[in-house]
Structure 1
């Protein structure tokens, strides 16, 4: 039987803040158990990436093809396809060199579920593949059932204004407007909808499915998914200082694509009366215009 120190895992992240952070935290947890972890990040993030306190994990930047392409001039569809084509090549190259040079090469590739095509690369090189889902089990089960055709789109046409009836039973209490926005309004972001559905195109070939959640949070959905696949709930993937404090040096997420302004934000918050601030998060990709900001501000006053 091999010891944890003999086990090497590759972790491939999608180059978006909300995906990098939980996957890095998971990697740190693996490393704390004695595993050797190599964290693969598309290189285009390097210029804007603030990397802090990741000594337990080996961070490697791999080519993503954006060094000679102006990403801003590409549509979302073209940018995602460009990333896929480039990462397929660079990941293949990296694994080939890794397996040729390492005495104990990695046997497992943990990859962001949005990069579902990475599973084929892992299997091609004789590795096990494990997709990492950054969203909850309930949300993922919704996408899976739509992908399988169990839940039909558009929701309103298929189910009227009543509840959506489907397995797992928890779904029966959800109304169409409780579902993710991608599927409530299928015309809003059709390309994004296609991506989240494609996550499930080959999951039955994966060794395990990893979810950034925990069983007690959504017990019914976790049990249902466990009957479909070999799953593990490995969340919440947040710094140890906010959770169990088992990792002494894990006091922050460690990676940021944006310049941290924690001190300025805390100073501003401290200047406000208690319970007077409303926090709204749009994620790292949102870019709101002046009219949208004004509309949101007006709505928050009501």
Structure 2
């Protein structure tokens, strides 16, 4: 147990949103909190608890000290993720179903608070229950506000830059940024109308929380964290006037191990293949767990990688269903003879891979990705530049941050071309630009410098802002 917290008077309840990137980040946070000696409960639907536990294999998370609560909700559809639309509309049924978590979460809150209230004459302070929840589940945890000795904090899995942009759009306030307003993607062309309404519903309960946690660090997004601290919703402004104080916020990432675990890193075939490649010669290609790509686009990507003559490691997987255990996963086809032609230069895998191990491997010199924030954060921490190809949601904002603000990546396409087929020639040019050009060298140098700064702040398991939050919660 961390010596900073000798008297454990706090129990944590973690409530994640049911998407892989959200489940995983809050599981990582649960691991870090439990490693400091705090009791941690992790509550999600039966399906999503099972998913989180199944996929922690390559995240270096110890789940043995985490108490899982598998909550029962009504069955929901799990549509096939294949679609002509890039936004993952097939996950909408799971999103709707998450609203049914309010009643079982309220029951769990009641149970945990009663357990905390058991008389213990050895304690000088009342025990407190601290809820950390996804902001997309503010509606679900609203009953915490009526319970004694309970505090709630939202944990935003996305970038602070995207949160700031969306907050400005919700409030109608101008962007105090150097970027031209028309260069910033708007909410209505990043997410579906149903999700916009869903966001609006959740924001009505923001004022009930006691503070905010962000899945980022100040070395990357300090200016936008400061802007967010100055920006509140109308409901929050009214609450702040009543309470006479502003809510606290913490940027608590990276949540993942900075230093390699050699035993785990050497256990996967992709890492064994990378061991045989020259330093910084391989571009890693992966589009996350909810990206749908047409067969035509997959063919163009394959040809672009082949024509670039650059070494590549490509993770080719279908998008997740809302229930990953319901239905068969499609095997996405490649051009005839492709894998044979690129043998020795490129490798395609359809399995889950240890992404952190890949990004920290000395043979990896670039990352072609969809710009999901988890992938961006892991890549930047390891000092790997990105070729950005955003698809939906927060990804276009993340791409803008990477390419135009931090200047540690190059764009494959601009957001204005999002509905066009990205041809092999465009992909070839982007891969060559990142991996084999003077511009790519400059971008890589900046990425490596930024990575060093991030890692220096997180060496030897020292997480200053996470420790600050835990000390505040345990006050």
- Which bracket does the TM-score occupy, shorter chain normalised? 0.7 to 0.9
Match of 1:210 in 2: 213
Residues 1:295 and 2:300 aligned together: yes
Q: Give the Cα separation in 1 of the matches to 2:96 and 2:106.
A: 17
The Cα shift of 1:120 comes to: 1.3
The Cα shift of 1:218 comes to: 1.8
Q: Give the Cα separation in 2 of the matches to 1:277 and 1:224.
A: 37
Map 1:229-240 → 2, pairs under 5 A: 229-240=246-257
Q: Give the Cα separation in 2 of the matches to 1:221 and 1:82.
A: 32
Match of 1:159 in 2: none
Contact preservation (8 Å) 2:113, 2:129: no
Contact preservation (8 Å) 2:151, 2:210: yes
The one of 5, 10, 35 equivalent to 1:7 is 10
**Structure 1 gap segments, 5+ residues each:** 152-165, 253-260
The Cα shift of 1:11 comes to: 0.8
Contact preservation (8 Å) 1:133, 1:210: yes
Q: CA RMSD in A?
A: 3.3
Contact preservation (8 Å) 2:212, 2:249: yes
Contact preservation (8 Å) 1:144, 1:197: no
Q: Give the Cα separation in 2 of the matches to 1:269 and 1:196.
A: 41
Cα 1:123–1:276 shift into 2, 3 Å:
same
Map 1:265-280 → 2, pairs under 5 A: 265-270=270-275, 275-280=280-285
Contact preservation (8 Å) 1:26, 1:237: no
2:163 alignment partner, SS class: helix
2:22 alignment partner, SS class: helix
Match of 2:41 in 1: 38
Contact preservation (8 Å) 2:16, 2:133: yes
Residues 1:82 and 2:97 aligned together: yes
Contact preservation (8 Å) 2:213, 2:252: no
Residues 1:111 and 2:238 aligned together: no
Q: Give the Cα separation in 2 of the matches to 1:279 and 1:175.
A: 32
TM-score, length basis structure 1: 0.74
Q: Give the Cα separation in 2 of the matches to 1:198 and 1:176.
A: 27
The Cα shift of 1:276 comes to: 4.7
The Cα shift of 1:191 comes to: 2.7
Q: Give the Cα separation in 2 of the matches to 1:39 and 1:234.
A: 21
Match of 2:22 in 1: 19
**Structure 2 gap segments, 5+ residues each:** 81-88, 119-125, 232-245, 305-423, 430-475
Cα 1:209–1:137 shift into 2, 3 Å:
same
2:293 alignment partner, SS class: coil
Match of 1:172 in 2: 178
Q: Give the Cα separation in 2 of the matches to 1:278 and 1:199.
A: 39
Q: Give the Cα separation in 1 of the matches to 2:207 and 2:151.
A: 12
Contact preservation (8 Å) 1:111, 1:129: yes
Q: Give the Cα separation in 2 of the matches to 1:210 and 1:32.
A: 19
Cα 1:282–1:184 shift into 2, 3 Å:
farther
The Cα shift of 1:105 comes to: 6.4
The one of 52, 58, 78 equivalent to 1:71 is 78
Compare CA radii of gyration and give the structure with the larger one: 2
Match of 1:157 in 2: none
Match of 2:357 in 1: none
2:131 alignment partner, SS class: strand
**Higher mean C-alpha deviation, range 55-64 or range 136-145:** 55-64
Cα 1:24–1:4 shift into 2, 3 Å:
farther
Match of 1:61 in 2: 70
Please give the per-residue CA displacement for 1:29-87, whole angstroms capped at 9, x wherever unaligned.
32233322111132113454425522232222222333xx44338954443222212x1
Cα 1:13–1:47 shift into 2, 3 Å:
closer
